[in-house]
Amino acid sequence: MQLLCFPDEEVDKGDYLLVTDRVKQRSLIVQVIDIQYANIPGILEDLLRDGISEGSLSGDEVDPFKVSSQIRVLKDTRLLVGKIRGAIENGRITRDVAWLPSRNHSHVEAMPAKLFLENLSSRHAFEIGSSHRFPHINSDLAALDGRLNIVTGRKGTGKSHLTKLLVTSLVHEGAPVVVLDVNGEYVNLGRSTDGREMHLSPKIISLIPGLNLRFSLSQVGLSTLLGTLIYALALPENSARIFSRIWRDLERQNQLTMTALGAAIANADCHESIKDALQARFNTLDDSGIFTDDARTALNLEELFRNHSTGCALVVNMKNQYSALRRIIVELLISKFTDLLSRQKLRALFLFAEEAHLYLRETYWDDVVTRMRHLGLFTTFVTNQPDTIQSSIYRQADNVFLFNFSNEHDLEIVSKVAKVDSDTIRMVVRDLPPHRCLVIGDVVANFPLVVNVRSLEIQTLGATRYFFEDALAIA
């Protein structure tokens, strides 16, 4: 739908308008996705004439028909390109619209905040931010439950900030959350900007590989460890067979320790090349420090979740870890989580994965959408490189938070999101300033909304470090 907008009327991209047919008593809900000049015949000619004559002519302007003031208005009249998102009939919002309002008897107004926000309110509300029309936008946390979500946008636009808001809101409502944190920027979620501990603090548990993130071999189990060796450490298949044999022997003798495993590999009766391959992987695992023979120092996830039944966020700090180790950690953790979920030890788990391509195995992407989701593992992918997320994830995502992209290639990828038309994404996303995002999906009751993400009182870390202090003002 196209609408004319006069110079004294203020509209932003993303605004919702109500076009009410006064005779039929029903209204269309229209979202503005682009703002252009109205190209009225003759206006260009008039603008050109202005440009040529400016300053070169003197004297009084003769305007016998008094049209110059009207022409001035027309020059600044804008054409709004809108998408019809629904209608209000008999006081209720509907999605099926098969009619157009009369051009004679309709009037256009901004959509009243109350009407719009009522639609979003819920039992598990959290304040996501504001827009210039709606000072407080509350969204529904339950709309993240059981869902697949994506947060993406250019560098430094506020993705991690929004993720922190989602994580703290979920923990606040009692949900178990895990954050795979590649930059070590989530560890202080429980502290205020001046370093004080806040009420959420005891619920934010930072897991540091080798320190309090350690596993015993029996906890991990053969199949998970084999998967890790083959995938994260590229162990050839024939060596994997020998490894299984060694493992089973140790298991029979009740000797599943790193020390015994190291000795058994050194004494294994097999070809030298296989032994070398096994030894090299064993050394990597051993050096990583994430395996322990002392069951008391091993991380007991089941107990941890049980002790924090009123919500917690486990922040897996993978800062400064090399890539194979990150893969090992994620492999082990995901297998533990799916185990807990399938044994009903955990009802559900919200997983936030920043830059998942750095550590997530190829075959896991499909798993995340299908198998793991049915088990209760609900993932949110966060990235500044949209092409690292597989296109099937875009098509299936239930909620998408899009920050600015201006590059055509990136826009092309994010416009694959199935929940909204690609025009909306292209037109709105490329003009978004930092800290503002287009929210699509269930969290906004499927009415795409441009939101200024609210600020947080917590220490967010993760801000880019600059050499020249005054370069700080990216925004």
Ligand X SMILES: Nc1ncnc2c1ncn2[C@@H]1O[C@H](COP(=O)(O)OP(=O)(O)OP(=O)(O)O)[C@@H](O)[C@H]1O
Count of other CB atoms within 10 angstroms of residue 466: 11
Question: Cβ closer to ligand X: 284 or 388?
Answer: 388
Within 210-229, the residues that bind ligand X by CB under 6 A are none
Burial track 261-277 (b if 16+ CB lie within 10 A, e otherwise): beebbeebebeeebbeb
Which one of the spans 66-74, 155-163, 312-320, 408-416 is the region binding Mg ion (CB under 5 A)? Answer: 155-163
Handedness of CA 452, 454, 459, 460 (dihedral sign): negative
The residue with tokens 């991380």 is 299
Which one of the spans 79-87, 159-167, 222-230, 248-256 is the region binding Mg ion (CB under 5 A)? Answer: 159-167
Is 124 near ligand X (CB under 6 A)?
no
Q: With CB cut-offs between 5 and 8 Å by kind, which of Mg ion, ligand X, none does residue 157 bind? A: ligand X
Q: With CB cut-offs between 5 and 8 Å by kind, which of Mg ion, ligand X, none does residue 263 bind? A: none
Question: Cβ closer to ligand X: 379 or 404?
Answer: 404
3-state helix/strand/coil string of the chain: CEEEECCCCCCCCCCEEEEEECCCCEEEEEEEEEEEECCCCCHHHHHHHHHHHCCCCCCCCCCCCCCHHHHHHHHCCEEEEEEEEEEEECCEEECCCCCCCCCCCEEEEECCHHHHHHCCCCCCEEEEEECCCCCCEEEEHHHHCCCCEEEECCCCCCHHHHHHHHHHHHHHCCCEEEEEECCCCCCCCCEECCCCECCCHHHEEEECECCCECECHHHHCHHHHHHHHHHCCCCCHHHHHHHHHHHHHHHHCCCCCHHHHHHHHHCCCCCHHHHHHHHHHHHHHHHHCCECCCHHHCCCHHHHHHHCCCCEEEEEECCCCCHHHHHHHHHHHHHHHHHHHHCCCCCCEEEEEECHHHCCCHHHHHHHHCHHHHHCEEEEEEECCHHHCCHHHHHHCCEEEECCCCCHHHHHHHCCCCCCCHHHHHHHHCCCCCCEEEEEEHHHCCCCEEEEECCCCECCCCCCCCCCHHHHCCC
Q: Least distance (Å) from Mg ion to the CB of residue 358?
A: 13
Which one of the spans 15-23, 104-112, 230-238, 454-462 is the region binding ligand X (CB under 6 A)? Answer: 454-462
Taking CB under 6 A as the criterion, the residue among 157, 168, 239, 321 binding ligand X is 157
Is 156 near ligand X (CB under 6 A)?
yes
Is 159 near ligand X (CB under 6 A)?
yes
Q: Least distance (Å) from Mg ion to the CB of residue 43?
A: 45
Q: With CB cut-offs between 5 and 8 Å by kind, which of ligand X, Mg ion, none does residue 155 bind? A: ligand X
Q: Least distance (Å) from ligand X to the CB of residue 382?
A: 7
Q: Least distance (Å) from ligand X to the CB of residue 460?
A: 4
Is 460 near ligand X (CB under 6 A)?
yes
Question: Cβ closer to ligand X: 375 or 432?
Answer: 432
Q: Least distance (Å) from Mg ion to the CB of residue 254?
A: 46
Question: Cβ closer to ligand X: 158 or 441?
Answer: 158
Which one of the spans 53-61, 152-160, 167-175, 359-367 is the region binding ligand X (CB under 6 A)? Answer: 152-160
Count of other CB atoms within 10 angstroms of residue 448: 24
Taking CB under 6 A as the criterion, the residue among 105, 107, 136, 155 binding ligand X is 155
Which one of the spans 22-30, 53-61, 62-70, 460-468 is the region binding ligand X (CB under 6 A)? Answer: 460-468
Please report how the helices 323-342 and 222-231 are oriented relative to each other, as an axis angle in degrees rounded to 10: 150
Question: Cβ closer to ligand X: 188 or 446?
Answer: 188
Taking CB under 6 A as the criterion, the residue among 160, 168, 224, 399 binding ligand X is 160
Q: With CB cut-offs between 5 and 8 Å by kind, which of Mg ion, ligand X, none does residue 455 bind? A: ligand X
Is 163 near Mg ion (CB under 5 A)?
no
Q: With CB cut-offs between 5 and 8 Å by kind, which of ligand X, Mg ion, none does residue 206 bind? A: none
Q: With CB cut-offs between 5 and 8 Å by kind, which of Mg ion, ligand X, none does residue 52 bind? A: none
Q: At 200, which amino acid appears?
A: L
Q: With CB cut-offs between 5 and 8 Å by kind, which of ligand X, Mg ion, none does residue 184 bind? A: none
Taking CB under 6 A as the criterion, the residue among 82, 86, 101, 158 binding ligand X is 158
Phi and psi at 238, nearest 5°, equal -65, -35
Q: Least distance (Å) from ligand X to the CB of residue 306?
A: 32
Q: Least distance (Å) from Mg ion to the CB of residue 319?
A: 12
Question: Cβ closer to Mg ion: 160 or 188?
Answer: 160
Is 160 near Mg ion (CB under 5 A)?
yes
Whole-angstrom distance, CA of residue 408 vs CA of residue 155: 16
Residue of closest CB approach to ligand X: 158
Which residues would be at the binding site for ligand X (CB under 6 A)?
153, 155-161, 384, 435, 453, 455, 460, 462-463
